[in-house]
Structure 1
Amino acid sequence: MDELAFQQLLYEQIPITEKMGFEVIEFKPSSVKILAKLEPNLNHKCTAFGGSINSLMTMCGWAAVFVNIKEFDSNSHIVIQRSNIEYFSPINMDFIAECKIEKQEVIEKLLITYKKFNRARIKLNVFCREDNKVLSKFEGQYVVFR
């Protein structure tokens, strides 16, 4: 599945993602990037609403699990179990969440555990950055099950 096909899947399965202006920029097993438009996500200070930032980052982590598990088992389900987010700076432009999986062992462990128990967990970090400055950091634990 490429970026556009996954974006269409999001719009169909989770319609709020289209209303929030989410655009899938990169959709690979090692890296997922999703952009959110600022305008539909504004708060009263004309910066990105914290709930929108959290939603984007949650979705980005979920997408990183999706791209890695769906070829292995297209009938699997993915849910967020736990998350934590830190906001470091206001965001006053369109913003991008990025989830990189730099160690293939993390995915291998997920798949081995899933195959053995029909259930597995994975912790992922997602960042919103402007250049090299971290604007927000998200850590999510996702559960995959049959």
Structure 2
Amino acid sequence: MTSSDATLQALERFILDGIPLARAMQVSIAGFDGVHLAMTAPLAPNINDKGCAFGGSLASLMTLAGWALVESMLRERGHDCDLFVADSTVRYLAPVWGDLRAEARLAPGGDWSPFFATLDARGRARVDVTCVLPGDDGRPAASLEARFVAKRRA
């Protein structure tokens, strides 16, 4: 399952219109293939005093990418939910000297089926997501493990 360009553009617009930090960071959704979602941001508005990416920007971009992954899955199935990050752990592994790219996917061993079954039955469900920000050498420069909670609006 893949999202159409129009669907991704609508989600990106929703993020940029509703989250001033995302707008300031100049984030964009680079793609979603039904399994993982990639989100990017240029280095310039996310730079620190050392000339590399600010750690807060790395954490924010990975959190936004994880959120957008879950939101994309909800939208594709026609669910109208409020979506929250419940908890997360970030690891900073290496400096990022160029533009940022976060890649989010369901946590290892995860499955969307129980998430949607619980959401249908209880109106609320949680799902674990992992996100990496690849470094120049291909190894992660930062990683995030997060739990997101969806709550049906109506």
Q: TM-score, normalised by structure 2?
A: 0.87
Partner secondary structure for residue 143 of structure 1: strand
- Paired position in structure 2 for 1:143: 149
**Contact 1:29-1:101 within 8 A present in 2 as well:** no
Partner secondary structure for residue 2 of structure 1: helix
Counterpart check, 1:132 vs 2:141: no
Match of 1:67 among 66, 72, 84: 72
Match of 1:49 among 44, 48, 54: 54
- Paired position in structure 2 for 1:85: 90
- Alpha-carbon distance in 2 for matches of 1:101, 1:28: 13
- Alpha-carbon distance in 2 for matches of 1:133, 1:117: 39
Q: 1:101: Cα distance to partner?
A: 3.5
Identity of aligned residues (%): 27
1:9-28 to 2 correspondence within 5 Å?
Answer: 9-28=14-33
CA shift digits 1:50-102 (9 cap, x unpaired): 11100000000001100111233442110000000001100010010001248
Unaligned runs of 5+ in 2: 1-5
Return closer, same or farther for 1:102/1:29 CA change in 2, 3 Å cut-off: farther
Q: Which moved more, 1:98-107 or 1:53-62?
A: 98-107
**Contact 2:106-2:128 within 8 A present in 1 as well:** no
- Alpha-carbon distance in 2 for matches of 1:83, 1:105: 16
**Contact 2:107-2:128 within 8 A present in 1 as well:** no
Q: 1:16: Cα distance to partner?
A: 2.1
- Alpha-carbon distance in 1 for matches of 2:132, 2:108: 17
Return closer, same or farther for 1:103/1:52 CA change in 2, 3 Å cut-off: closer
Q: 1:10: Cα distance to partner?
A: 1.1
**Contact 2:110-2:128 within 8 A present in 1 as well:** no
Q: TM-score, normalised by structure 1?
A: 0.91
Return closer, same or farther for 1:123/1:103 CA change in 2, 3 Å cut-off: closer
CA shift digits 1:11-62 (9 cap, x unpaired): 1121321210101101343110000111111111111111110000000000
Counterpart check, 1:97 vs 2:102: yes
- Paired position in structure 2 for 1:40: 45
Unaligned runs of 5+ in 1: none
Match of 2:111 among 103, 106, 115: 106
